[in-house]
Amino acid sequence: MSDVALALGGATFDGLVKIEELAHGMITLRGDLTDKAIVAAVKDVFGVTLPGTRETAFAGSTGALWMSPDEALLLCPYDEAQTKADDLAAKLADAHALVVNVSDARAVFQLKGRMLREVIAKLAPVDMSPDAFTPGMVRRTRMAQVAAAFWMDDASTARVVCFRSVAAYMFGILSTSADDAAAVNHFAG
């Protein structure tokens, strides 16, 4: 894999939250996520146990996101993605599974700040109240007009993943939602 070339060159915005485009290694895994061979291979290569429905699992710089009953998105540093994808594919050679490095097909934005719930709630049809959406959960949904997934690392940090082809649109709607003049203060605290 070549050096990372971010879709927007590392775009940032600072408002209600700080938005930053990140480089991320991402591998799509399709298969029976309860298959013992798949679970063991992911644990061996990524150091995490595959998460349950709408959950995340992280161990340092690697992680796994539940995307659907037969799909997980595995995360790692960008420069490790191809090696990890190759290792996982080799371990699953005899399993009914698909492993694809999608790092260059996706864009990732980090949102950091106490107003991130409000910023996301303006764009996604997800209950962002602290009782309904907590760190360790993931949602695969739409944000305005595009497909996206997002999760919270902690109470003030979230990441959003979308297709690279809509990265500029996603950055624009996130920035508009996070503009200081756009505060609704519903989740302020």
Amino acid at 51: P
For residue 109, what are its two tokens? 């934005």
DSSP 66-85: EEETTEEEEEE-GGGHHHHH
Q: Is 35 helix (H, G, I), strand (E, B) or coil?
A: coil
**Dist CA 74 CA 27 (whole Å):** 5
Q: What is the pLDDT along the chain (189 residues), one digit of tens a residue?
A: 456 789 999 999 999 999 999 999 999 999 999 999 999 999 999 999 999 999 999 999 999 999 999 999 999 999 999 999 999 999 999 999 999 999 999 999 999 999 999 999 999 999 999 999 999 999 999 999 999 999 999 999 999 999 999 999 999 999 999 999 988 876 555
Domains of the chain (ranges; CATH) run 12-22+106-179 (3.30.1360.120), 25-104 (3.30.70.1520)
